[in-house]
Structure 1
């Protein structure tokens, strides 16, 4: 083994947590190597979050064309140009790449393009993409290797060359008939977008419902939404075999003898952590049964001086959680004692309308035996939705007996933007009245909080789980009847 190059920190992976840690440490004057084998900046700006929302917005514009008459707009013939859709997405990606390169240059973090694996304790070998190898050493190593789409061991599936979200977002032709394996959030977002562009779409889900872990009212609303948009849904489906080639002709065989035929196949059945072939056994880094790096609540692995973050550490698979992982590690290196325990995990599914959530769901509260009062209103009770002609959906909130907010869910236009005020109240242990008594601008979506919390007023005679769908006279409400529906701190050593 050649003499290793010495660094203050080595970060394998340039996803959200990894790149921010690289920029932070390097800007403090530390010598940092950030190893990345595929896409600088990780999945989010290149092939996942941001590109998908870019394409989804193009699909939203297409839906406005389809609904033109509804808004008094008369238009002639129109069509979707998938090459232009793809070009718009690529322009955004190129701009984001320039931004990332500027941040690396500004911070002076070194980018090392190649695949990193452990050779020995505190020592990493990089198989460089351009050829050859480099050997790096540091007392501080951080892993942020991400995850990839799971391809289940189904006969013929891999051979059919199915698309994952990566290839689906790069399409320059419109699939005639897209078959989507998986009724989770990635599958739903892309299924709806392709349908709005003009594809026939069939979703194949192994569970009884789409997004089966969600509350029944959420799954019911999404089923109805997709049915209304002309998307076929097959649930309780066991895929036994796949024939053909995606992009040409493909047949999906189900356990009940049924067969589904399409031109393209998209697999969106889960994520697999990128933790293989990294020499983990050489340094004592253990993985979980699901393949993630095993970490404690301070994100320390089972090897001294090695941390992990993001998808690969088994954190909830959201870019914003990877960023919070970075903040936990950053603060603990400076002497803090932050952990991943009890943090709120907000989420937004970018279907149209959006589905946003933070805290407990009703399913979770009932399973835990947690008492709550339910407040719920249709989105139409937030009058802004009527100006947009986007009244589909609802808001609901779970209130504890002591008036703290336990959970919030909304299905409606732009409802992801409603989460921060709820999160702030939850993180500060404020009663729901702290939000309810705000003067909220009219007409905005957030104004719907007034009617929502009106339906969750305290019943002084009971702390049992209940749903109160009436609106009391105190507090502002519309006269519309719809509104009544309801280990130890690790100090970073001084830089030499």
Structure 2
């Protein structure tokens, strides 16, 4: 059904609200197909991943690993004084990468004929958006199809005094030009641990605070125990099972945090504080009601398995749609919506979502967790191998961690978890076997180059025998 357009509204075949992973790929691909596409972006060309999240954080994390290597120079045969960290240089290296990525995005938008509009978009009716332009004024546009790709943002909770303390989120953390003398990290999740380790390696005295009895509550206990122990050895202090009652002071100068544990109250002091306690979808200011788009109780846009919203010819993708908060999940959202627009069927149900935590060593996982299998009474055989048995790790001097896999009665892999150097790269071959319905022996019986990390998969599954 054709859109009803008020006088003055520009008509497009497709309007994309937000240039995150799914949104930008839909704009590029549909534009290349010859459709007239408009994309509205408030600030970050290409979304959060290339600007303030995935790639910038991994850039800084890599600099921190170089700093860690600098402290191990004698181990590798170098008699050199440990160099001093210059966070301005670290930041500029990150900024240079971001500028290059933004330029790549701009060129691709232009090459695919996408009308890129800088401003804040808000629905004023079904499939109709008014954009408050960054350059001033407004622009009203309408689309036969609209795709919402507005992402999510870090939340700063209403702990007394926290907002007044102006805590860093990951955005401000990535813009630091000095090494914090001391840092309190609120939250022992993925973002919190990645930054905690990076800052500790740069020279900060880091304390991680979490209300739970252990970090990464969705991960297996053996994984968390080993990872927490490794981070503790790097000087990170953990205050677990602790509730933050109040915060005073100002981040960047001096902050004081009052904690409550089961036994007592405790006061922590630091120069900086990082809030890493979760994210919320960016759906509260885009006028969803005006468009007939319903939200869930936690603010995500309601979608079906095709990522269609409650409004006709309107899709939602990525974080704002409640998809797993990973860039690679959003990329699959792009494929689902593109196929739907093309008249084909691809759905979100039953998706296999892998992920990697980029601490050092990395934590990579896909499929069923062992703790989850135990809770559900699912029968499995366990294959487990220390990373030290993967001989490539010995050449690197990074032998910490282990590999493990759950094997079902039919010899198929139910789940795979790896904690070790570079193990995120091991996920793809395991996923391929799982998705193809092959038995674990498909990996066990490969001839894999020696010595490589992927060779560890052969020995992991060989640990179950050759019968």
Q: Find the counterpart in structure 1 of residue 3 from structure 2.
A: none
CA distance in 2, matches of 1:193, 1:304: 46
How many matched pairs? 459
RMSD: 1.0
Which of 56, 65, 81 is 1:60 aligned to?
Answer: 65
- Tell whether 2:180 aligns with 1:175: yes
Shift of 1:276: 0.7
**1:234 aligned to 2:239?**
yes
Superposition pairs for residues 97-496 of structure 1, below 5 Å? 97-255=102-260, 256-455=264-463, 457=464, 472=465, 474=466
In structure 2, how many angstroms separate the alpha carbons of the residues matched to 1:20 and 1:307?
14
Partner secondary structure for residue 161 of structure 2: coil
Shift of 1:77: 4.3
**Residue 39 (structure 1) shift:** 0.7
Q: For the residues of structure 2 that align with 1:450 and 1:119, how far apart are their CA atoms? A: 57
1:226 Cα offset (Å): 1.1
Q: How far apart in 2 are the matches of 1:3 and 1:368?
A: 58
Unaligned runs of 5+ in 2: 1-5
- Map Cα deviations across residues 353-410 of structure 1 (whole Å, 9 max, x no partner): 1111111111222233221111001001111101111000000001110011111000
Residue 12 of structure 1 corresponds to 17
**C-alpha separation in 2, matches of 1:369 and 1:259:** 43
Equivalent-residue separation in structure 2 for 1:286 and 1:74 (angstroms): 63
Q: Spell out, residue by residue over 1:213-235, the C-alpha distance to the aligned partner (whole angstroms, 9 max, x if none).
A: 11001110111011100100000
Cα separation, 1, equivalents of 2:90 and 2:283: 34
Q: Which secondary structure does the structure 2 equivalent of 1:160 belong to?
A: coil
Residue in 2 aligned with 1:464? none
Displacement of 1:8: 0.3
Residue 280 of structure 1 and its aligned partner are, at CA, apart by 1.2
Deviation string 1:263-308 (CA, Å, 9 cap, x unpaired) is 0000000001000122211222111111111111110111111100
Q: Indicate if the aligned counterparts of 1:2 and 1:135 stay in contact, CA closer than 8 A.
A: no
Q: Distance in 2 between matches of 1:414 and 1:425?
A: 20
**Which moved further from structure 2: 442-451 or 390-399?**
442-451
The 1-side partners of 2:317 and 2:125 are apart by: 21
Contact 2:364 2:423 in 1 (8 A): yes
Q: Aligned equivalents of 2:448 and 2:73: distance in 1?
A: 31
Deviation at 1:81, TM superposition (A): 0.5
How far apart, in 1, do the equivalents of 2:251 and 2:274 lie?
8
CA distance in structure 2 between the aligned counterparts of 1:441 and 1:53, rounded to whole angstroms = 27
CA distance in 2, matches of 1:92, 1:250: 32
SS in 1 for 2:301: coil
1:333, distance to aligned residue in structure 2 (A): 1.1
Q: Does 1:51 align with 2:59?
A: no
Q: 2:84, 2:30 → 1: CA distance?
A: 49
Report the equivalent of 1:71: 76
Q: Whole-Å Cα distance in 2 between the matches of residues 360 and 286 of structure 1?
A: 32
The partner residue of 1:34 within 39, 47, 53 is: 39
SS in 2 for 1:105: helix
Corresponding residue of 1:88: 93
Equivalent pair of 2:70/2:82 in contact (CA under 8 Å): no
Q: Distance in 1 between matches of 2:252 and 2:104?
A: 34
In structure 1, distance between residues paired with 2:243 and 2:45: 37
Counterpart contact for 1:86–1:170, Cα < 8 Å: yes
Separation in structure 2 between the aligned mates of residue 162 and residue 226 of structure 1, nearest angstrom: 23
Residues in 2 aligned to 1:65 and 1:281: alpha-carbon distance in whole angstroms: 55
TM-score, scaled to structure 1: 0.91
Whether the 8 Å CA contact 1:15–1:145 is kept in 2: the answer is yes
1:144·1:309 contact (CA, 8 Å) conserved in 2?
yes
Bigger drift between 254-263 and 22-31 goes to 254-263
Q: Does the 8 Å CA contact 1:177/1:200 hold for their aligned counterparts?
A: yes
